A and B are shown apart, each in its own frame.
Chain A
Amino acid sequence: MAIVVNLDVMLAKRKMLVKELSTIVGISVVNLSILKQSKAKAIRFSTLEAICAALDCQPGDILEFVEDPNS
């Protein structure tokens, strides 16, 4: 996986639950869980903006590029 989603790390840093974030950003828990597990196909700028605003962080805190050893 080249792009890793560090949403769980940021949630832990802010001591926030997925359910709480879901209520704030208006995205379902299911979708946030899929995003958290890096299984989403793409992320909208509007989603990223809402998450960054809720967690008071930068997009780089949530998304990270990790070189794939297989490629």
Chain B
Amino acid sequence: MQANGAAQFGRFLFVLLSAVPIVAGVGYALLYSLGLTGVMAEGMTGAHWREVLRDAAFWRTIGFSLYVALVSILIALAIALALVLRSPRTFTKGSLSYMIYLPLSIPAIVMAFFIFQLLGKGGWLSRLAHQLGMISALGQFPDWVNDNYGIGIIVAHVVMAAPFFTIFFANLYENERLGDYLHLATTLGAGRRQRIFRVGVPILLRRGLATVFLYFMFVMGSYEIPLLLGSQSVQMVSIRTIQRLQRYNLGDIPEAYAISVAYTVLVVVLLSALLWFNRRQMRPS
């Protein structure tokens, strides 16, 4: 009886701390965006949603967030896969197996600051280029931070994600006994390219798909890095939402909440696609 009560209380606590905040948050944002609550509440209206969905800047924001996440993850994956498939034991044994963890101790805000000081016009690389005679003035250095292509944001995410994926794939390589498969492929006459692109990469990517996808979502919703390294003209979704919420114009708040709900819907759709894909992969052929 007592154990049953404890179990029920445990599950109540679980719902309270996991589901209630999300349902409350999305519910409030939805009600606000529909004009049903908040200081500017004017009764049920779809005006804010129409405004957001017709606004080209909103779609640019979504597109830019997807682009930054996609490019960052693809580059980080390419680096991690190349390192692990070239020399898998380096990252599970020896000094590098410990050192590869060090970059994980750098928070996003510190990484953003570091990349700003490295790639900015007055940054270390610009100074190096000046010392090497490649440029003669600060203005000649390219715009690699606060630029419209998100170069600084992408570099920061790649520097953070590449060590993470290297550790992840090096462990997968061992756990999945990929070495044995590659050896088998060699015995069957596969060349170096075939071993890598027909065996190594597909197995690692298929096994790590969920983690890669969750990291993709993390990059898409990132805040600190685009806050320091992003531009004002093309913004990532978190930046646009928070900026609209913190403006003095109260009329922007319902739109900020509409963006939050729209982003949540997008994430849920992408997650559902992942689950569907995963289930299809698991189904016996």
Q: Does A associate with B in a complex?
A: no
A residues at B contact (CB < 8 Å): none
